[in-house]
Amino acid sequence: MTLAERLPGHPFIAYKNGTLHVEAAALPELAREHGTPLFIYSKQWMLEALAAYQRGFEGRDALICYAIKANSALGVLRIFAEAGCGFDIVSGGELARVLAAGADPAKVIFSGVGKTKHEMRQALAAGIACFNVESEAEIDVLNAVALDEGRQAAISVRINPNVDPKTHPYISTGLKGNKFGIAHDRALAIYRHAASLKGLRVVGIDCHIGSQITEAAPYLEALERVLDLVEAIEKAGIALHHLDFGGGLGIDYNGDTPPAADALWRRLLERLDARGFGQRRLVVEPGRSLVGNAGVCVTEVLYTKPGEAKNFCIVDAAMNDLPRPAMYQAFHRIVPVTPRRGEAVSYDVVGPVCESGDWLGRDRALDVKAGDLLAVLSAGAYSMAMASNYNTRGRAAELLVSGDRVTLIRRRESIEDQLRSEQFEG
């Protein structure tokens, strides 16, 4: 790869004159002004990723709901709200975020296995589009809450189709052993029960089989199983207004080749058309595929530490900033912001946190010295959204880049921010 080439999977992140840029912004300048670790997102990348879904659904009755758990920064949410998206949320806090970002509550879907009564009331009061319910117990509780509030809750039942998404077990959600959804063979009985409750209005069916899916086959298999259920449910006299096929489409972390969103949906729509469901309202809930490759985490090299078994490149970003490698053994490409011309050495790239699990990359060939900047790629999803204050580390700043315009969308967290909500006994 020459320095002028764009990095794989990152059409708006490229080397220019020997320095890595996000769109027109040079990363060393941003690091000098805002410090490190630092998350930087390309607005244009997000809009291009969204456009692939919009092309795939052109001419169809479809609602694209961004799954905000991937990246819940208000500045990111505002982009998708202004683009006409709905939102997929999994907590009352996420509901408050999307409303603060200007979302239309009538385009909000509430997923998740553990909704509290307070969250249900919060969502009913806001006037959300639909609850994706995930258990028989939740159906009964939501019915009671809705009746108590003098409202009727629109629901879609999340089905667990027992389809292997061929992904990491921690982000697989559609197998029998997962905590999500209602078993396929219990679905018809559950729908009959839900339809009998006065506090509920059955409007759809939902299926989400996992995350970072890089093949079309699991989607096609799940689609067929869901459509079989739709036919059985509607034969029982329960009409379904919409079909929700979740999200989970993967991105290119390390030469991964997931289908493009528009290509994937062309294939799925062919099957929907063939089975007579092509004109039904469709809902999808992409997250990672809209933001993952739009982001980088810039980190400074603190020390290089040679060892007998390993060489370590110690940086100022850590597992509290970017948890995916520690949680999932996930791979992120790590590249120099301003490449040197010397001989590369194999390093484990690790952070300052007091855990052996605090690593960002294993066995990476790098030519680096203390003070250099590295960019951890594909850091737009499940990074800052899962960040913590472990070791009393402040969470990083976040920047949004649009062309040559740079906006600070989250300031760096100070120690005062962390201590503000605590107090001593008495």
| CATH number of the domain enclosing 36 | 2.40.37.10
The pLDDT value recorded for residue 163 is 62
Of 177 and 146, the structure prediction assigns the larger pLDDT to: 146
Co-location of 253 and 310 in the same domain: no
Distance of CA 417 to the CA centre of its chain: 26
Average pLDDT over residues 56-77: 97
Co-location of 122 and 15 in the same domain: no
**Separation of alpha carbons 41 and 290, rounded Å:** 11
**Separation of alpha carbons 120 and 114, rounded Å:** 10
pLDDT value at 74 more than 70: yes
Co-location of 262 and 354 in the same domain: no
Neighbour count for residue 425 (Cβ, 10 Å): 3
Average pLDDT over residues 218-247: 92
Co-location of 240 and 337 in the same domain: no
Active site residues: 354
Co-location of 349 and 260 in the same domain: no
pLDDT value at 165 more than 50: no
- Tokens describing residue 143: 């019915």
**In sequence order, what are the residues at sequence separation of 6 or more whose Cβ sits closer than 8 angstroms to the Cβ of residue 216?**
259, 264, 267
Co-location of 252 and 332 in the same domain: no
Answer yes or no: is 135 within a domain.
yes
**Separation of alpha carbons 109 and 147, rounded Å:** 20
Can you list the alpha helix ranges (DSSP code H) found in 21-90?
27-34, 43-56, 74-82
pLDDT value at 4 more than 70: no
The pLDDT value recorded for residue 168 is 41
- Tokens describing residue 102: 């200007």
Average pLDDT over residues 86-109: 98
Average pLDDT over residues 186-195: 94
The pLDDT value recorded for residue 221 is 87
Answer yes or no: is 397 within a domain.
yes
Q: What is the dihedral of CA 148, 154, 160, 166, to 10 degrees?
A: -120
pLDDT value at 230 more than 50: yes
Write the burial class of residue 273 (CB in 10 Å: 0-12 exposed, 13-18 middle, 19+ buried): exposed
- In the three-class reduction of DSSP (H, G, I as helix; E, B as strand; rest coil), residue 373 is classed as strand
Co-location of 238 and 135 in the same domain: yes
Final residue before a domain boundary, out of 259, 286, 313 = 286
**Separation of alpha carbons 359 and 270, rounded Å:** 43
Please give the residue range of the domain that contains residue 223: 111-286
Final residue before a domain boundary, out of 286, 317, 346 = 286
Co-location of 259 and 332 in the same domain: no
- Asked if 291 contacts 282 with a C-beta cutoff of 8 angstroms, the reply is no
Mean pLDDT of the chain: 92
Neighbour count for residue 198 (Cβ, 10 Å): 9
**Separation of alpha carbons 31 and 25, rounded Å:** 11
The pLDDT value recorded for residue 215 is 86
The domain spanning residue 247 has which CATH number? 3.20.20.10
Q: Which of 357, 363, 421, 366 is nearest to 390 (CA)?
A: 357
* The residue type at 342: G
Q: pLDDT (tens digit, 9 = 90+) per residue, 292-332?
A: 999 999 999 999 999 888 999 999 999 999 999 999 899 99
Final residue before a domain boundary, out of 261, 286, 311 = 286
**Separation of alpha carbons 42 and 380, rounded Å:** 9
**In sequence order, what are the residues at sequence separation of 6 or more whose Cβ sits closer than 8 angstroms to the Cβ of residue 259?**
215, 216, 249, 267
**Separation of alpha carbons 409 and 100, rounded Å:** 14
